[in-house]
Amino acid sequence: MYMWDRIQEKLQILSDAAKYDVSCSSSGSKRSNDSKGLGHTTGAGICHSYTEDGRCVSLLKILLTNYCIYDCAYCVSRRSNDVKRVGFTVKEAVELTINFYRRNYIEGLFLSSGIFKNSDYTMERLVRVAKTLRTEYRFNGYIHLKTIPGCSEDLVKQAALYADRLSVNIELPSENSLKALAPEKNKTDIIRPMSYLSNSIEAYADEKKVIKSTPAFAPAGQSTQMVVGASPENDLQVMTIADALYKKYKLRRVYYSGYVPVSNDSRLPQLGTPVPMIRENRLYQADWLMRFYKFSLREIVDPAHPQLDLDIDPKLSWALRNLHLFPIDINHADYEMILRVPGIGVQSALRIIQGRRYSKLGWDQLKQMGIAVSRAKHFIVCTSKDHPRDINEAALRQRILRQSKYAATLTPQLSIF
């Protein structure tokens, strides 16, 4: 029993330390189980549970160890913090993953680590866990490995051959903040593996088109995370970095993590400062608009509007700033423009395009298709005659804000401020 108590304790400490990394995605990769071994990865990913803070639990998210030679101010595992230090052996990490997976608790493993000894030594251990899972246990579930900043390219390459996704965190939205809060890290150590991976992923993908037997190389690509609210950058700065990362390094995802105070360091928001959850949420919505709604960065934030509006979502915010483009005729407008109407999502837009081929659409049909007509009606015309009158930005904003459903979802979060 003693052994299990030790494992219990390690799991507690090492999952507690890992939980501030918000990524839990298990999507973007397909692995079949042709060899009748264990596991498969379907591409869409599955959330097996949700914590009481409402976040998806998809992966076993742990550090291999919380020993760390660095002293990043925002991190619980920082060298100067007085916490108990433990570490899993490779075998322990592997057994936990397998046994959780077999019970259908998880989609796979997200393994990160404090830096012990040096970057290469740490990375080598992470790779060994992934390798053991894939080769000895014939595991086809999802593996996300953290790339340790400053580790060698050869280790990054090996990691990519076993893992589905790799990530190296940008950590903070400016080099100055990085210097101030994570003095031992530097931009180059973070960007270099990112750039190497981006090039290699592309090269492997190209080769695979010609040579089928080319091995999978980080098939779910790479992601990164930025902590927001720990340092003074505005949303324009945050989104500018995200935009550059998407374009330059073809990242699959940029995660925004509202800073959760973990220390009384005077460089940081004090303990008890609320987590900027609405801001975080707005950043995700803005990010979504860039990736799926074909919005450009400048349409969402610009020097005149450097912060996202906390009261309303960025799509509505854009529409209100651009009322001269509306209303659009839902029966004739093209897909891109329909997508930009507040209250219409991707699925509804597709339905409109398909449905209007059969008959022209009015409010009733639009409602049936699941469109939030109470919001969209201010921005569109259809066959129905009763359209809201022209109205100015301020009045429209007030009217939409008052709509009960919307206010209801916002208040519980707002009340914490």
- Contact residues toward other proteins (CB under 8 A) are 4, 7-8, 11-12, 15-16, 18-20, 32-33, 36-40, 42, 46-57, 60-61, 96, 99-100, 102-105, 138, 258, 260-261, 274-275, 277, 351, 354-359, 361, 365, 368-369, 412-413
Helix or strand (DSSP H, E) at 180:
helix 175-181
The verdict on 116 binding ligand SF4 (CB under 6 A) reads no
Question: Among 342, 385, 379, 388, which residue's Cα sits nearest to residue 360?
Answer: 385
The verdict on 163 binding ligand SF4 (CB under 6 A) reads no
Q: What one-letter code names the amino acid at 412?
A: P
Q: Work out whether the CA dihedral 115, 276, 400, 326 comes out positive or negative.
A: negative
The verdict on 18 binding ligand SF4 (CB under 6 A) reads no
Question: Among 85, 84, 153, which residue's Cα sits nearest to residue 123?
Answer: 153
Count of other CB atoms within 10 angstroms of residue 147? 29
The verdict on 61 binding ligand SF4 (CB under 6 A) reads no
Count the residues in the chain: 417
> What 3-state class would DSSP assign to 277?
helix
Residue 78 Cβ, how far from ligand SF4 at the closest point, in Å?
A: 4
* Partner touching 78 among other proteins, ligand SF4, none, CB below 5 to 8 Å by kind: ligand SF4
- For residues 134 and 210, give the distance between their C-alpha atoms in angstroms, rounded to a whole number: 25
> Do 200 and 209 form a contact (C-beta atoms < 8 A)?
no
> Do 163 and 144 form a contact (C-beta atoms < 8 A)?
yes
For ligand SF4, the closer CB: 20 or 326: 20
* Partner touching 180 among ligand SF4, other proteins, none, CB below 5 to 8 Å by kind: none
* Partner touching 114 among other proteins, ligand SF4, none, CB below 5 to 8 Å by kind: ligand SF4
The verdict on 146 binding ligand SF4 (CB under 6 A) reads no
Residue 53 Cβ, how far from other proteins at the closest point, in Å?
A: 4
* Partner touching 77 among other proteins, ligand SF4, none, CB below 5 to 8 Å by kind: ligand SF4
- For residues 169 and 222, give the distance between their C-alpha atoms in angstroms, rounded to a whole number: 10
Residue 113 Cβ, how far from ligand SF4 at the closest point, in Å?
A: 7
DSSP state of 387: P
Of 245-304, which residues contact ligand SF4 (CB under 6 A)?
Answer: none
For other proteins, the closer CB: 54 or 303: 54
Question: If you search the block for the tokens 């990010």, which residue do you land on?
Answer: 287
The verdict on 125 binding ligand SF4 (CB under 6 A) reads no
Residue 185 Cβ, how far from other proteins at the closest point, in Å?
A: 23
Pairing of strands 56-57, 49-50: antiparallel
For ligand SF4, the closer CB: 45 or 150: 150
Instruction: Tell me which of 77, 147, 222, 257 binds ligand SF4, using CB under 6 A.
Output: 77
DSSP state of 305: B
Q: What Rg value do the Cα atoms of the chain yield, rounded?
A: 24
Instruction: Tell me which of 10, 31, 61, 78 binds ligand SF4, using CB under 6 A.
Output: 78
Pairing of strands 41-42, 30-31: antiparallel
For other proteins, the closer CB: 160 or 268: 268
Helix or strand (DSSP H, E) at 191:
helix 187-210
> Do 100 and 50 form a contact (C-beta atoms < 8 A)?
no
For ligand SF4, the closer CB: 122 or 140: 122
Stretch that binds ligand SF4, among 74-82, 94-102, 201-209, 256-264 (CB under 6 A): 74-82
The gap between the terminal CA atoms of the chain, to the nearest Å, is 46
Residue 72 Cβ, how far from ligand SF4 at the closest point, in Å?
A: 3
Angle (CA) 164 227 129, round 5°: 30
Question: Which residues contribute to the site for ligand SF4 (CB under 6 A)?
Answer: 68, 70, 72, 75, 77-78, 114-115, 182
